[in-house]
Structure 1
Amino acid sequence: MKKLAILICVVMLFNGCKIGLNGASIPAEMKTVSVQLFENNAPLVIPYLSSQFTEDFKTRIRNQSRLSITQNDADAVFTGNISNYEIVPVAIQDNKNPTPGANRLNIRVNVKYTNNLNPKLSFEESFERFEQFKLDGQSIQALEPQLIKKVTAQLTEDIFNRAFANW
């Protein structure tokens, strides 16, 4: 009987605990957020990048917070643009016939975050991430979608953490 009472106490204790691993500290009064389309202003334009980045960021907010995404009268607003998209060689393989041994996809996003509940927490910053890759006989076009997905995931995490986890 004593063991059962201890077990019930332990279960009740852990039941009352909530552990969040993403580090988000969103104020209780913040209920809504607006994410405007991140226009692609990069010199090299990938047609689907703008909508994919915007949707990936909305998905991150939905999955890692309790915030509702709305178009108007939001407690917080994200606007911005994709200012750079480039693929550059980072390692040369052969001195006689120089070919890239590795390449790097760079994406930079300018973000303006407006916190309408606490303007002191608003910011305007650039975020940049990259993914290094080898072609290994494949074309850049074949690898590009998965590379963009990886870099976009890193960028949306950085922006989310900056806005909601104060990182």
Structure 2
Amino acid sequence: MRLWWIPLLLVCAAWSGCGVYTPYGAQTNGARTFSVSYFTPVASLAGPEVGQQFTEALKDLIQRQSTLRWVQDGGEIQYSGRIVGYDVSTSAVAGGQEVASQNRLTMQVQLRYVHTLDADLDFERTFSRFADFPATSDLFDVETQLVEEINEQLTQEVFNASLGNW
């Protein structure tokens, strides 16, 4: 019984069905590297740490959810932009009273995406997200947590728009 070739045939069939795995469906279109320039805060209420936190959050998310390798400058995919909005507003009013019960921190990021290998994929767009907090809380006490929450949402939206397979 010469059935030794059956396992070999099964292994070959299994290998031929394998493709390249890309985590989270990231579409890099041949790019292997990316760079993220510092997102300068130009909004009046945003401190310099807000730009640094967003820049690092975007870099970290792309490294976690794609196979791209980060480079300091000149990546095949390039992200740049600025923080153009950073505002606090009232999001809810207490029942029947003219007193705020919830406040909202809104952050807007103007982003430029450049794919050096395929210029048809380039775009410029403004992304906006917010987080609510109790009106009884001081913004300075909750700001770090709110910015982290907003950055998580913003960076995921940027990733989906630039590399997402949607």
Instruction: Report the counterpart of residue 48 of structure 1 in structure 2.
Output: 49
State the TM-score, normalizing by the size of structure 1: 0.82
CA separation of 1:19 and 1:99: change in aligned 2, threshold 3 A = farther
Residue 73 of structure 1: CA displacement?
Answer: 3.0
Q: Which moved more, 1:54-63 or 1:157-166?
A: 157-166
Q: Supply the AA of the counterpart residue of 1:128.
A: S
CA separation of 1:132 and 1:67: change in aligned 2, threshold 3 A = same
Instruction: Report the counterpart of residue 82 of structure 2 in structure 1.
Output: 81
* Structure-2 separation of matches of 1:20 and 1:69: 16
CA contact (8 A) 2:23 2:65 kept: no
Q: Supply the AA of the counterpart residue of 2:132.
A: Q
CA separation of 1:82 and 1:166: change in aligned 2, threshold 3 A = farther
Residues 91-110 of structure 1 mapped to structure 2, 5 A cutoff: 91-93=92-94, 98-110=98-110
Instruction: Report the counterpart of residue 27 of structure 2 in structure 1.
Output: 25
Answering whether residue 109 of structure 2 is matched by residue 134 of structure 1, we say no
Displaced runs of 4 or more, over 4 A: 15-21
Partner SS state of residue 165, structure 1:
coil
CA separation of 1:17 and 1:72: change in aligned 2, threshold 3 A = closer
Gaps of 5+ in 1: 1-8
Q: Supply the AA of the counterpart residue of 2:117.
A: L
The superposition leaves residues 58-97 of structure 1 with CA deviations (integer Å, 9 ceiling, x where unpaired) of 000111111111123321111100000011112222656x
Instruction: Report the counterpart of residue 3 of structure 2 in structure 1.
Output: none
CA contact (8 A) 2:22 2:66 kept: no
The superposition leaves residues 96-134 of structure 1 with CA deviations (integer Å, 9 ceiling, x where unpaired) of 6x3211111100000000110000000000000111222
Q: Percent identity?
A: 30
Instruction: Report the counterpart of residue 6 of structure 2 in structure 1.
Output: none
Partner SS state of residue 22, structure 1:
helix
Gaps of 5+ in 2: 1-9
Instruction: Report the counterpart of residue 150 of structure 1 in structure 2.
Output: 149
CA separation of 1:101 and 1:149: change in aligned 2, threshold 3 A = same
Partner SS state of residue 55, structure 2:
helix
Q: Supply the AA of the counterpart residue of 1:124.
A: E
State the TM-score, normalizing by the size of structure 2: 0.82
Instruction: Report the counterpart of residue 5 of structure 1 in structure 2.
Output: none
